[in-house]
Structure 1
Amino acid sequence: MSRAPRELTARALVTGLLLGAVLTPSNIYSGLKIGWSFNMSIIALLVGFAFWQGLARSWRGADWTMQESNINQTTASSAASIISGGLVAPIPAYTLITGAQLDTLPLTAWVFSVSFLGIWIAWYLRPSLIVQAQLRFPEGMATLATMQQIYSHGAEAIRRLAVLGAAAVIAAVTKLIDSLVWSLPRWAPTVQLERFTFSLEPSLLLVGFGGIIGLRVGLSLLLGAVLAWGLLAPWLVEQGLVRLPAETAGPVFAQLIEWLLWPGVSLMVCATLTSLGLRLIATRREAARHRSAWQRPAPWPALGLLLAASLVVALQIALFDIHPGMALLSIPLALLLAMVAARVVGATGIPPIGAIGQLSQLSFGVIAPGQVAINLMSANTAGGAAGQCTDLLNDFKVGHAIGAAPARQVVAQCLGILVGSLIGVLVYQLLIPDPQAMLITPEWPAPAVATWKAVAETLTAGLGSISPDIRWAMLAGALVGIVLGALEALLPVRRMRWLPSSAALGLAFIIPASISLMMTFGAVLAWLFAARWGGLAERFVIVAAAGLVAGESMAGVGISLWQLLR
């Protein structure tokens, strides 16, 4: 009788926790820069395999099993995805509106609690969505394919890791030179274009993200930047709708973003909600075949769910002075919206966390109008729970395929979010010690923060508090978003390449044009490489791009720490 392979070992957990602690700052940094993050499962998979399998061959130690790899990537990805707990969206938005900032331990407890709730929701959704319905979960399948490939061809993992490491070193050195030695040039064709944020930033992180997002999204960012900053911004200044100080030199992002973010936010919110609704309708037949998306609670997991819900409710009351009834109401809403997000991710691979957050904001805006804390932090419960729920379901998909024990993955996920919460909060407070002065600026555009803040302000003060010209812009953005969202949900995949990405188009209104330009450059560069060397691109482009993102972001965090110590 053969022994079961090693799975929840100390080395697998420690490796995942260490990698999660290293990779979490990357997502915090990029989330505050451009509002997007990167799934760290494949990076953790490659690093863990290369280290332990190399050690086993050199010293004839125990092999690094596929099940241990799965625990490692589950732990690391849960830590790195902690940003769905609110650190780059509702939590800074709450500070910008109210001026209130939580200390390290209370903020860590809050971020952990909403993520902890998501883990137990995923546990009860697993039997229906993965075992019975067998939804695809494309992100999990990509991790599984990489795992199977490196275990079949071990040398491939070493090659990919070498490319990842080289890209990370190049990006980190470039960032260190730019920040500590001399400032690399920011080139703009004319002074007027530079004024409207059209310049080339020496950021390899942006180039890397461009390689990850692909040509369609990259060109959509370029289109949005031209529309917002190339056409609309000069027209606003010419018409006197936005007044600029005569002595202002350089980019005028801060003055223009107060107007431009409204149509951009309206476009993104309406597009994501429309697409979400239509995708759910499209999956109704599958839902009918599996009527219950919820497993009958077993005693111990039910206790975990009850503990998580109680912790979230208690912290809402204690930290944000939210009425107990409203805090309790956030739990069933979080359960419902996490189930919605899980089904969408399972079918499409697209995590609708932004849409879930805005939908929960709208729900609380109707139930408790005019209350900022409820609108942001109770809605944060749904967004955070949905983010960790979908992350664990992707991990469950991998585990189910290789015969892993789901309970052991839950243990790994819980430890991962514990480390991720602490590291994430410390990095956020290190990078942004003064959110009111630092966020929604050219240095830290924080588009997700701007979105949550704008929705909260609109629902609190009402549309009457917004000038008529902005209301017309919001209506135009909403209509474009509805059309694009509907087309994204209904068009076949082969025709999607001709359709602008609604998320990228709206995002380009909220970030400086310089960021959009560099991400477009990265997308075009990756596309050209793939067109010339398709096989190499499939193996190395995403890995190299991830290295650029991780290298610059970790160097940026290190520079902030160095400056703080000085």
Structure 2
Amino acid sequence: MPVERELSLRAALTGALLGVFLTPSNVYAGLKIGWSFNMSIIALLVGFVFWQGLAARVRKGPSWTLHESNISQTVASAAASVISGGLVAPIPAYTLLTGEALPAAPMAAWVFSVSFLGIWIAWYLRPSLIDDDKLKFPEGRATLEALTQVYGHGREAAKRIAVLFGAASLSGLVKWVDAFYWALPRWAPTAQLERLTFTLDPSLLLVGFGGIIGMRVGLSLLLGAVLAWGGVAPWLLSQGLVALPAGSEGPQFAALVEWLLWPGVSLMVCATLSSLALRLFRRGEGDAAAAAGRFRLRRPERVPALGLCLAVLLVVALQAALFGIDVFMALLTIPLALCLAAVAARVVGATGIPPIGAIGQLSQLGFGVVAPGQVSTNLMGANTAGGAAGQCTDLMNDFKVGKAIGATPSKQVIAQCLGIAVGSAVGVLVYKALIPDPRAMLLTEEWPAPAAATWKAVAQTLALGLESLSSSVRWAILLGGLAGLVLGVLEVVAPSRWAGYLPSAAALGLSFILPASVSGMMAFGAALAWAAGLRWPGLRDRFAITAAAGLVAGESVTGVGASLWQLLRHV
């Protein structure tokens, strides 16, 4: 039986080109709402339809093989997932706290280095985690099902890609009109509700994300928005705990979020860490050794060993050179990254949810103890663990797909390295174009940057201590933390038939940091997808996620283009 083409030039270039177009979507969405989208299935569909369609028309040359599709989606998803390297969280938080903004080239090198470390950690984790039948890796399994489906039913792939491009065109058109021709109205029933950010946001990206996250998360966002912006915010104004600028009109997001982010961050961090700890150490899921990410080390091979050593040297050197971190402290980030990436990979294998936020905050707490008051060490040391964990989990999903189809792991690693190289360069350029002045533009209604707000709040608290905060904020942190602890525990211990009715702690906390208009539109998108599923369940299963992804991609790509155009006009 002939061996299928795998790491071909066209597969690598197709994935790289798709990464160029898909990475801006995640950077844009990450700065807007703090979430990103797995691009594996979208990249798979686009590559398949293009090359299979071209082969059908030309009737010459080799067909687009299943293994080439896998390599292409690996490159593209690695590029798009590079935002876990810090682009929308610790890097902007570092600028907000220190006032220092890295130039583009050093920033790209840093993002690449922590992602590169995650790739080699994944290589050494692969034998034990991928071979563990208890770990299903849901994201990888979804990609595998899509891969086998399009090669078994080519017409289905063509229909899905038509839906994808149709939704993207609609979303992009709406954003283009809003940006260049006529600013779409942000309507509110009353001036008071407008001041509290309860406006109608004409964003199809938010509707698309709502369709992706589902009803539980959507309703949790809506509940949190009503609680935070409809309940707590008016109380803050009436008690004089937050003072608005004299004569201020319109949404007062920036002034209110400075207080509201504290209980929101506390809720998210405590819920995520308590849930993660229970999932790892509860009875029935393995002993403490397994919880720490038990894995069998491979016998050192020359190339992987050199790759890991190079990654370690690069991360340590850049921490010292770019952020002035002591070399000993920089070296401490490596074993922490190894352990936490193993934990993250195991959690992703079991649940499909990458706990990158929890990994980051856990690392920040650790560095807050060993390096108190050192903001750079706290943020960028934790960035090493979070970035490595993010790229490690992405590659583990690809390894799961590769094992099922007989792909070559070393070729997948090469594809992943190419992807992070593309993603680091493109992601940094997009970030620089969108946010030329982070201190003035971030934590605003236009760019809430909730992930950056979380990292900033944790680092600031650990550096200055709780005594630096007002008593009202400290009480808010305590109450938010207790609520998060309860929700995190219930999420794990509640019977499965009841767990789906619990509010999502991550969404509740996030709604304190997002404008109410954003949470409301995502809840609307979730309800729309749910209602469509009741009426047309078959069509929902086939096209809902594809259409939602198109809405996200269309607006984000157009939004990036609009920002670039505005930047060029002022050069």
Same fold per superposition (TM over 0.5): yes
For 1:280 and 1:333, locate their aligned partners in 2 and report how far apart those are by CA, in whole Å. Answer: 17
Given that 1:160 and 1:543 are in contact with CA atoms closer than 8 Å, whether structure 2 keeps it comes out as yes
Residues 134 and 350 of structure 2 are in contact (CA less than 8 Å); yes or no, is this contact kept in structure 1?
A: no
Using the aligned pairs only, state the percent identity: 70
Contact 1:124 1:297 in 2 (8 A): no
1:358 is matched with which residue: 353, 356, 361?
361
Query: Contact 2:125 / 2:295 at 8 angstroms: preserved in 1?
Result: no
TM-score normalized with structure 2 length: 0.97
Partner of 2:210: 210
Which residue is equivalent to 2:158? 158
Do the aligned partners of residues 308 and 255 (structure 1) sit closer, same or farther apart at CA in structure 2, a change above 3 Å counting? same
| Maintained 8 Å contact 2:208/2:549 | yes
Flag structure 1 segments of 5+ consecutive residues without an equivalent.
none
8 Å Cα contact 2:5/2:65 also seen in 1: yes
- Cα offset, 1:285, TM superposition: 4.9
TM-score where L is the length of structure 1: 0.98
Question: 1:286: Cα distance to partner?
Answer: 10
Which residue number corresponds to residue 306 of structure 1? Answer: 309
State the match for 2:377 in structure 1: 374
Structure 1 residue 46: deviation in Å? 0.2
For 1:264, the equivalent position in structure 2 comes to 264
Is 1:22 the equivalent of 2:21? yes
Match of 2:561 in 1: 558
Q: For residue 245 of structure 1, report the CA deviation from its aligned partner.
A: 2.7
The yes-or-no answer on 1:53 pairing with 2:52 is yes
Counterpart secondary structure, 1:7: coil
Could you give the per-residue CA deviations for residues 515-553 of structure 1, whole angstroms, max 9, x where no partner exists? 000000000000000011000000001000000000000
Residue 543 in structure 1 maps to residue 542 in structure 2: no
What secondary structure sits across from 2:507 in the alignment?
A: helix
Change in Cα spacing, 1:56 to 1:97, as seen in structure 2 (3 Å) is same
**Contact 2:78 / 2:416 at 8 angstroms: preserved in 1?**
yes
**Rounded Cα–Cα distance in structure 1 between residues aligned with 2:492 and 2:359:** 16
Aligned residue for 2:104? 104
Q: Distance in 2 between matches of 1:293 and 1:495?
A: 36
Cα offsets for 1:268-309 (capped at 9, x unmatched):
000010111111114325965995343332222011001001
RMSD: 1.2
User: CA separation of 1:228/1:159 partners in 2, compared to 1, >3 Å: closer, same or farther?
Assistant: same
Q: Which residue of 2 aligns with 1:273?
A: 273
Cα drift, residue 132 of structure 1: 4.1
Deviates more, 1:487-496 or 1:49-58: 487-496
SS at 1:411 equivalent: helix
CA contact (8 A) 2:163 2:543 kept: yes
From 315, 326, 333, the counterpart of 1:330 = 333
Which one of the candidate residues 455, 469, 480 is aligned to 2:483?
480
Kept after mapping to 2: 8 A contact 1:81/1:391: yes
Deviations 1:226-271 (A, max 9, x none): 0000000000110111112341100111111110000000000000
Secondary structure of 1:202's counterpart equals coil
C-alpha displacement of 1:179: 0.9
**Does 2:286 correspond to 1:284?**
yes
In structure 1, the residue corresponding to 2:78 is in which secondary structure?
Answer: helix
- Separation in 2 of the partners of 1:291 and 1:239? 52
Q: Secondary structure at the match of 2:131?
A: helix
The one-letter amino acid paired with 1:560 is S
Paired residue type of 2:418: L
After TM superposition, the structure 1 = structure 2 runs for residues 79-98 of structure 1, keeping only pairs within 5 Å, are 79-98=79-98
Q: Report the Cα distance in structure 2 between the residues aligned to 1:333 and 1:424, rounded to whole angstroms.
A: 26
- The whole-number CA distance in structure 2 between the counterparts of 1:295 and 1:270 is 35
**Structure 1 CA distance for aligned equivalents of residues 7 and 493 of structure 2:** 42
Q: Deviations over 1:41-79 (max 9, x none)?
A: 000000000011111122123121111110011000000
| Amino acid across the alignment from 1:433 | P
Matches within 5 A, 1:105-254: 105-133=105-133, 135-254=135-254
Residue 299 of structure 2, aligned match among 285, 296, 300: 296
Counterpart of 2:186 in 1: which secondary structure? coil
Instruction: Please tell me whether the aligned partners of residues 75 and 418 of structure 2 are also in contact (alpha carbons under 8 angstroms).
Output: yes
Counterpart for residue 470 of structure 2: 467
| Helix, strand or coil at the partner of 1:284 | coil
In the alignment, structure 2 segments of 5+ residues that lack a partner are: none
The one-letter code matched in structure 1 to 2:117 is L
Q: Which moved more, 1:347-356 or 1:486-495?
A: 486-495
Give, in angstroms, the shift of residue 134 of structure 1.
5.5
Provide the residue aligned with 2:319 in structure 1: 316
Output the CA distance in 1 between the equivalents of 2:462 and 2:526: 36
CA deviation vs aligned residue, 1:88-142 (integer Å, no higher than 9, x gap): 0000000000000111111110000000000000000000000245520000000
